[in-house]
Structure formats: C-alpha cells, structure tokens
Structure 1
C-alpha cells in the first residue's frame, strides 16, 4: 500500500481534483473503461494518477478472473446435459486434477478480489479526497509500462 509523498495541507488541496476523487467510484460501475477514458482525456496529474491506480486494479482482477475460469474450465472433465454426462474436453486425467486444484483457489481469489474492490474503492476515494493517490494493494502496474 503506497501513497504519494506527504504534502502540506495547502499543497494537497491545490493538487487534488474532483475527477481524481470520483474516478474510483466511476470504476465500480464501469470497471477499467471509465477510468481509462478519464486517464485519456484529463490533463490533471492527480486525476491521471488516480485513474491509473483504478485501471491497474480492475485489469488485475480481470486477468485473475480469466485465468481462474480458464483453469477451472480445463479442470472440469464432464458436464451434465439433458441428464447425460458429457465429456467437456479430452484433457488427461492427472492434468485435469491439477487444473482443478489450481482453479478452485483461483476462483475463490476472484470472489475475494471482487468484494475487496468495493472496500478498495472507498479507501481510494477517501485518500483522494484528502489529497493523495492510493495504489490498490496487489495490483499489477500495467499502465506504468505504457507511459
């Protein structure tokens, strides 16, 4: 959990913006799309930094979810359609067991990440209102690569 360097009260109030404060709430409803638009159109560094943090978190959660569902899908050896078991994929038996044991914790991590998103948005919004940009813990810094 890192924040930007501590500034005096007057510096913090001058540097913050409404876009930087509300980008985290916007991200709850639009995932990374709303913050990405704010990042693209804003020229205010505080708004861009908060948008970047929100984008990084939401893309991290999406990557985790895709990985979990693909792994879980590969671990599922059969499904029931119209009361008859049907083999889903022709993955060898030991390999589908490995995928299952990896997929279940990943799916649980997705559930935790989705619930954490709401708490993180509250904390990030509060930190932005007080004048600092809060990095979501555990997020991959993807947007920094494209600066």
Structure 2
C-alpha cells in the first residue's frame, strides 16, 4: 500500500528569485532607493513585484516623515540658528496650535510606521521565501499609479 503524498509544485519554486526575497531586507538599509533600483534593473516578474511593494511602503513612510517634519517646522514658535533665536514664520496663534497638533499626530504616525517597517520587512521576506509577493498594508501604490 502506498502512502499518500502531497504533490509538489515545481512552478512555484521556479517562479521565485533571490532578488525578490532580498529586496525587503535591502529596503531596510536603503529605504526606497534600493527597491527602486531593483525594480528598474530586474526583468524577473517576482522580483519586480516584491520591489514594487517594498518601494511603495518605504516611499510612503519617507513622505509621511517629510510631511511631519515640515508641519512641525511650520508650527515652531522659535528656531535657533547660530545661537540666535528667530521666528521662522508669523502664523496666527490658532493656526499655529492646529499645525502643532497635526504635526504631533503625524510624528506619532511616522514613529508607528517606522516600527511597523521592521515587522513588515520580516513578514514580506518570509512570504517571498514561500513564493508570495506580499503587499504592505497601508502603503500608497505609487508605482502602479504613476508608472
């Protein structure tokens, strides 16, 4: 009597690539630059799809951080430059308070996104090893929209 065996799926293993797996840890070091380069130079569909997902997430996080920084700068009462205190912008008090509140919320969202980046990179790498291109939750699909 023969034992039941699970059929293997060789196409699944052939469709994976090392670049598609390593693009997620690469993005941890290079942000969106590494995945953008991998996406541009690769002709392997699995690698390009993983690079696209990594690029979209890291570009979203960098954009969030820049917006948080600019909002925080606009709400600053004083900025010290060369030991001298200057007022960067003359914004009325109610608007300044709203900008400060929004800036703090954006800064907290940026910190959460940076912490999530580590977990997302691990999950995406494990999914890529198993042959699946995992889409990062909350990422704006920049590549799909503009390219």
Establish whether TM, by shorter chain, passes 0.5: yes
- Structure-1 residue corresponding to 2:55: 55
Name the CA distance, whole Å, in 2 between partners of 1:93 and 1:41.
50
1:1-147 mapped onto 2 (5 Å cutoff): 9-79=9-79, 86-147=86-147
Shift of the 120–87 alpha-carbon distance from structure 1 to 2, 3 Å rule, reads same
Question: Cα–Cα, structure 1 residues 141 and 82, in superposed 2: closer, same or farther, change >3 Å?
Answer: closer
Taking structure 1 as reference, are residues 51 and 87 closer, same or farther at Cα in structure 2, changes over 3 Å only? same
Distance 2:83 2:40 in 1: 51
Write the distance in 2 (CA, Å) between the matches of 1:112 and 1:143: 23
Structure 1: state its 5+ residue gaps. 1-7
CA RMSD of aligned residues (A): 1.7
Q: Where does structure 2 lack aligned partners over 5 or more consecutive residues?
A: 1-7
TM-score normalized by the length of structure 2: 0.88
Compared with structure 1, are the counterparts of its residues 83 and 18 closer, same or farther at alpha carbon in structure 2 (3 Å cutoff)?
Answer: closer
| Change beyond 3 A, Cα 1:103–1:38 | same
The answer as to whether partners of 1:12 and 1:132 remain within 8 angstroms in 2 is: no
1:88-146 CA-partner distances (Å, limit 9, x unpaired): 31111111101001000100111111111111100000000000000001000000023
Q: Whose radius of gyration is greater, 1 or 2?
A: 2
Higher relative contact order (CA 8 A, sep 6+): 1
- TM-score of the superposed pair, with normalisation by structure 1: 0.88
How far apart, in 2, do the equivalents of 1:12 and 1:141 lie? 25
Whether contact under 8 Å (1:57, 1:136) holds in the other structure is: yes
Count of residues in Structure 1 that have an aligned counterpart in Structure 2: 140
How far residue 9 of structure 1 moved from its aligned partner, in angstroms, is: 3.8
Alpha-carbon distance, 1:84 to partner: 6.9
